[in-house]
Each structure stands twice: as C-alpha cells, then as structure tokens.
Structure 1
C-alpha cells in the first residue's frame, strides 16, 4: 500500500532565519495523529539562511541523522567534535546519555538545505556517539547508496536501531528496484526532481509511506534525488 503525502499538506514553519517543512509533529506543530512512522520520529526539511543556525542545545535518547542537500553545515558538540559538511555528506549523533550541540550555516551568501532525521533508539541510556561520512557523488549516481544501517549492517554509519537509510541521484529515465522484506516498511522522500514510485508520481519534497509491498520501484521522471528509510513495520 502506498500513501502519498503532498508537500503542500505538510506543516511549514518560518522562523525568519529558518524555514522548515515538518513531516511529523514537531515544535510548534502538534498533531497526535501524525507522531511517527514506525521508529521514524522526526523528518524535517530545513532551509537555514547564511550566518545563522541552531545554538547549543541538548538532546537525549534519540538517534539523529543529518543529510546535507545544499550548502554547508558546521557542527560543534559537548564531546569536542567540530566538523563542516557539504552536499551528500552525512552526520550521525546518538544522544543516548545526553549531549549538547550546535549546527550553523557559516556561509556568507548561500542557504543550507538539509534533512534532519530522528530515529527512536531501541532503549534508553545508550552510549553517546558522533560520526560523519563524506560520500562522493558517484557513489549515489544512478545507484542506491546505503548511508545508514543497524550495528550489523554494512553502511559506514551505524545506528543502534533496526533501520536503514538509502539515497540515490538518478538521471532522467533511469530506474532502481529494491526488495522489501516481510514485515518491513519504507518512508520515501523526494528531495529534488520527480519520480514514479511503484507507479505513483511524486514531486520535489513529497513523501510516500510504503507498507505491505514486496518491492520498491523508482523511475526518474527527470533528474531525481531521493532518500528512503527502511524499517520494521509496526
């Protein structure tokens, strides 16, 4: 079963320095019927304007992944990590025992666009971990790139939770297929361009909830950039 979520129906937040499209209930958007999709608790599509960002703030008992779409993000945290990431690069933080961090767009003229993804951990009090990976464009060009897995998976970024994240950039007309295991589900996000997802037309910033399907078939209508989270169905 496929359920499309049009971007026009998502909640838009405008803080001046930050514009966000919330896929799930978050911050000033309260919707108890839209709290999560399986272990996926938050997915925010953020635009951070130049020389602004999120000041130092705490997190606890959450696994947080940032995927940079455009621009650059500079991370600092209470563990002493400091790193600037650009398009296609991935940042991961397991805030199990508690951590403070900040995320800034220090560029003078260019906006930062990133997907902020929060995955609920399998239990509380897990070790606090930070990591980042600089993927090359050719690793996701016309192929699936496995950017996040569980601890037993083969991705460079590993979660405590049983969840996987894949990204791809397909040229127009190219397609990929992905087998969906029994008892698994997918949350699909069209980052840029347009695709046909199991025959369903999706545009930039749309999403699709995919349940009770045996496979995922994505065909690029035009140059297409997308991400999906695969997880246990609940």
Structure 2
C-alpha cells in the first residue's frame, strides 16, 4: 500500500526568519495521524533567512541527521564541534545521554534550505557522538546513494538504528526500482522536482509511505528531481 502525504498537508511554523514544514507532529503542531512512521520521528523541512537559525538547545536519546539542500549551515555543539555545512555535506548526531547544539545561517545574502531528520535509536543512554560526511551530486545521479546505515557500509554514516537512508538526483524519464525486504517499509520524501509513483504525480515537498509491498518504482517528471528514501524496520 502506498499512502501519499501532500506538501500542503504538513504542519507549518514561520517566524524569526525561519519557515518550517513538519512531516510529523512537532513542537506546537500535533496530528494524531502523523506522529511517526516506524522509527522515523521527525522530518522537518527548514528555510532559514540570512542570519536566522536555532539557538543552543538540548537533545537526548535521538539520532539526528541533517541533509543540506542549498546554502550554508553553521553547526556548533557541546562536544566542541564547529562546522559550516554546504550542499553535499551530511551530519549526524547521536544525542544519547545528552548533547546541546545550535544551527544558524551565517550568510548575509543567501537563504539556507535543509531537512532535519530524527530517528529513534536502537537503545537509550548512548554516548553522544558527532559525524559528518560529504556526498557529491554526481554520486547521487541516476541511482540511490547510501548516506546513512547501521553498519557504515559503502562509505555511509553509521547510526544506531536499523535504517538505511538514500538520496538520488534524477532527470526527466529516469527511474529507479527499489526492492523492499520482507517486513520492511519505505518512506519517500521528494525534496525538489516532480516524481511519478504508482500512477500518481508527486510535487515538490510531497511524501509517500510504502507498506506491505515487495518493491517500489518511481520516475522523474522534471529536471533536478531530488529524493530521499528511508528503508525502515
């Protein structure tokens, strides 16, 4: 079964130079039908105006992945890391026993566009950890590039959960068939472009839950179609 989640159905919050869309319940937005999907708890799409950002705040017992679409994002945390992310960069924090961090757009002219992803870890009380990696656009073209996995295979970032996160960049007419192992499910998040999925057209920002199927097939219907695929328990 494939269940669509249209972009305009997501929660939204705007203010202080931040415009956010929430795929699942978050902060003051609560939707009982969209609290989580498997171990995927948060999928926020954030647009930060120049100079805007999130001041230092705490996290615990969560795997937090940041996927940058455009612009620059400056990260600082209580472990002593300070890093400016650009397109292609991916970071992951294991909040575990507790970590504090801040994120802001340091640019004076350009906005920053990103996805913030929270996943429940396989166990609580883990040692806090920070990782980062770079994945070029060329690595994602016409096939699924593994970004995050439980074992760090193929140069991916290792997280403490049985989740594989992929990204792909497709041109019109290019498609991918993805096999789904028994007992697994998939969540698709269209970041940019348009996508044909199961006879339905997904527009930028749309998402889809895939359950009880052995495979899923999709084809790009616009230039610069960028998709995130979560393979979940």
Give the TM-score of the pair, scaled to structure 2.
Answer: 0.96
1:4, distance to aligned residue in structure 2 (A): 0.5
Residue 38 of structure 1: SS of its match in structure 2? coil
Matching of residue 170 in structure 1 with residue 170 in structure 2: yes
Q: For the Cα contact (< 8 Å) 1:85–1:134, is it kept in 2?
A: no
Q: Which moves more between the two structures, 17-26 or 85-94?
A: 85-94
1:154, distance to aligned residue in structure 2 (A): 3.7
Structure 1 unmatched runs, 5+? none
Deviation per residue, 1:2-29 (Å, 9 max, x gap): 0001111111111231100100000010
Residue 8 of structure 1: SS of its match in structure 2? helix
Equivalence for 2:38: 38
Matching of residue 128 in structure 1 with residue 128 in structure 2: yes
Q: For the Cα contact (< 8 Å) 1:11–1:22, is it kept in 2?
A: yes
Deviation per residue, 1:190-221 (Å, 9 max, x gap): 11000112332101000001101111211011
1:86, distance to aligned residue in structure 2 (A): 1.0
Residue 182 of structure 2: SS of its match in structure 1? coil
Q: For the Cα contact (< 8 Å) 1:61–1:94, is it kept in 2?
A: yes
Q: For the Cα contact (< 8 Å) 1:147–1:156, is it kept in 2?
A: yes
Alpha-carbon RMSD: 1.1
Matching of residue 230 in structure 1 with residue 226 in structure 2: no
Equivalence for 2:205: 205
Deviation per residue, 1:19-52 (Å, 9 max, x gap): 0010000001022332100000000000011112
State the 4+ residue runs in structure 1 displaced beyond 3 angstroms: 152-155
Matching of residue 156 in structure 1 with residue 156 in structure 2: yes
Q: For the Cα contact (< 8 Å) 1:149–1:155, is it kept in 2?
A: no
Residue 124 of structure 1: SS of its match in structure 2? coil
Equivalence for 1:79: 79
Equivalence for 2:25: 25
Residue 213 of structure 1: SS of its match in structure 2? coil
Q: For the Cα contact (< 8 Å) 2:3–2:209, is it kept in 1?
A: yes
Matching of residue 119 in structure 1 with residue 113 in structure 2: no
1:64, distance to aligned residue in structure 2 (A): 0.2
Cα distance in 1 for residues equivalent to 2:70 and 2:128:
27
Residue 208 of structure 1: SS of its match in structure 2? strand
Equivalence for 2:90: 90
Cα distance in 1 for residues equivalent to 2:110 and 2:51:
9
1:136, distance to aligned residue in structure 2 (A): 1.2
Cα distance in 2 for residues equivalent to 1:103 and 1:39:
24
Q: Which moves more between the two structures, 4-13 or 25-34?
A: 25-34
Number of equivalent positions: 232
